[in-house]
Chain A
Amino acid sequence: MSYTIKQISIFAENRPGRLAAIADALEEEKINIYAFSIAEASGFGIIRALVSDPAKAHSKLTQLGYAVSFTDVIGVKMRDEPGGLKDIARIVGETGINIEYAYAYSGKKEAVLVVRVDQVEDAIRALQANGVHLLHESELA
């Protein structure tokens, strides 16, 4: 059972209304956004999102002219209570996994830390070996 989750990433200029425009386009296609984050750099931003239909989102946004890509990420389940993130951070630190970026969201049952690493399969194995529970794509909805 694979624990990789398809994230869509979108290039956006730093100007008002870009996020709203993207959200509108996805709504039009009846695509749910479960989680998202925006990374801002000087002059541009990268929007990252977990959605109900990544393939459809990708084709819709590409059609509208956006630069879009798929990225495999991992959803790490956290105890939804103080210290939940700290525990995960400690385990990740011990496994020596190099995290490119991470963002958290509050899922249906628990809090989830979405993690982007370079070696996804290695990271999944290491996390599971350390007793971390991972989110399956089917649990997103």
Chain B
Amino acid sequence: MTCWDPRIEEMSKDDLQALQYKHLKTLVYKLYSFSPFYHGRMKAANVHPDDIRSLQDIVKLPFMYKKDLRDNYPDKMFLGGQDELVRYHVSSGTTGKPTVVGYTQNDLNNWSESVARALTSIGLGRKDIIQISYGYGLFTGGLGLHYGAERIGATVVPASVGNTERQIELIQDLNVTAICCTPSYMVHLAETSKKMGVDIAKDTRLRTAVLGAEPWSEKMRRRIKELTGVKAYDIYGTSELSGPLFTECTEQNGIHVWGDLAYVEVLDPETGEQLGPGEKGELVVTMLQKEALPMIRYRIGDITSYDDSVCPCGRSHVRISRISGRVDDMLIIRGINVFPSQVEHTLLGIPELGEHFQIEVDRKGALDTMLVRVELKPTAFSDKVNDMMSIKNKVAHALHSSLNIAAEVELMEPGTLTRFEGKAKRVVDRRSFE
């Protein structure tokens, strides 16, 4: 497998850690000296840059939060002057003020470099024609992928969003081989092309999709493959970290996070303690080389786990799993962290059930109880009580083994659980914590 930058991508773990430590040390001194915001944070936490004597000492450093960016709107957390900046991106916050991110020329270079490595890792290169169907403008998706794709010498079709029929014509007429867009837009594109009588697998050269900016699943990946024959890859990044930065490689077994650019930790969201490989928790990222808006131990709020073994593709850089939820959605039941997305994932694997569910958490005496209501699929119904009990037990068993906590299961008549538009309110927490 070819690498964009083999020297970095196939670097030994030891060398990579030494490089990360060097960058971290520089970053901490710079922030302590020049960022009033982070200087204050470090003082409050009683840490001095001299206390950082190894990469592991990163745990001594205070966290940064989304709220910090809002509180310091628009640019009070920036380092250096306006003349250093070459671009702004602005993310629209669903709550409160937007977040402004500034970039120096080096920031843009590193961002493009990161995307160039990522696109190369999924097999794209000079012979590819890449349609960028993310929004161009204040949003980071369009321009981020645009410069990364140009860097690897691919031919870019800057289609941006909207006018799906025109997009499909472009894919046909310009022999587009790869598309970058949201997973829901990819499905929409597949459905629209079908209506137009265009068979993507036969009538176009589109074979690769780079999908991100919203949560998606393995189930959607299979659906896209079935509908279009296109192999879909997960891309990750948020505007605070620059924008879309990292993707899966052709192994499709985790997203490579380039260690020279970013240091990854996965923490228990409650205690802030670091978790080990494979354990699900909150992703915390330190951007090691960002200049205009440095981010140290930034608590993004996304749930993932990491794998730091060397990938079969040869790259030594840590891999994070598909984002499986948000910290805000997390429930703590009998001391165990439970994510609604885990419940959803488990239920999706049981063919006797419909796709809707509800989680009800209550407290009986000192004990938390969790009830999962699921709809029975009409075709799975049997007139025998034993058959129905075994479906119920199967669900309870599957939940217990994936959540590590016992859940009551209630089988519901099909169609009886409330349907929600948009983000489903699937959790009812009746506990009072006074």
Interface residues of A (CB under 8 A from B): 7, 9, 11-13, 39, 41-44, 46, 48, 62, 65-69, 71, 100-101, 116
Contact = CB atoms under 8 A, between A and B. Distances in A.
B415 A41 contact: no
19 contacts: A11-B376, A11-B413, A13-B411, A13-B416, A41-B389, A43-B410, A46-B384, A46-B388, A62-B378, A65-B413, A65-B414, A67-B376, A67-B377, A67-B380, A67-B381, A67-B413, A67-B414, A68-B381, A100-B384
Given A66-B414, A67-B413, A48 B383 contact: yes
B147 to A, nearest CB: 51
B378 A68 contact: yes
A52 to B, nearest CB: 19
Interface in B403-430: 409-416
A9 B415 CA distance: 18
B41 interface: no
Nearest to B409: A43
A116 B383 contact: yes
B385 interface: yes
A9 B392 contact: no
A9 B383 CA distance: 6
B382 interface: yes
Which 8 pairs between the two chains have the least Cβ-Cβ distance?
Answer: A9-B383, A67-B381, A65-B415, A67-B378, A71-B383, A43-B410, A11-B381, A41-B385
A42 B386 CA distance: 11
Given A13-B413, A44-B411, A69 B385 contact: no
Interface residues on B, range: 20 to 34
Contacts of A9: 381-383
Interface string B142-164: 00000000000000000000000
A7 B376 contact: no
Given A41-B389, A46-B385, 17 more contacts: A7-B383, A9-B383, A11-B376, A11-B411, A11-B413, A12-B413, A41-B388, A43-B411, A46-B383, A46-B388, A65-B414, A65-B416, A66-B413, A67-B413, A69-B382, A71-B383, A116-B384
Contacts of B378: 62, 66-68
A54 B413 CA distance: 20
A39 B385 contact: yes
Main SS of the interface on chain A? strand
A9 B380 CA distance: 13
Nearest to A118: B384
A114 to B, nearest CB: 12
A87 B381 CA distance: 33
Nearest to A65: B415
A24 to B, nearest CB: 15
A130 B409 CA distance: 44
A13 B382 CA distance: 14
Contacts of B377: 67
B397 to A, nearest CB: 15
Interface in B352-401: 376-378, 380-385, 388-389, 392
Contacts of B382: 9, 69
A13 B412 contact: yes
Nearest to B382: A69
Contacts of B411: 11, 13, 43-44
Contacts of A67: 376-378, 380-381, 413-414
B291 to A, nearest CB: 59
Contacts of B412: 13
Contacts of B380: 67
B354 to A, nearest CB: 10
B394 to A, nearest CB: 14
Contact of A44 (B383, B384, B388, B415): B388
B313 to A, nearest CB: 47
Contacts of A100: 384
Contacts of A41: 385, 388-389
Contacts of A71: 383
Contacts of A39: 385
B373 to A, nearest CB: 9
A71 B377 CA distance: 18
Contacts of B414: 65-67
A122 to B, nearest CB: 18
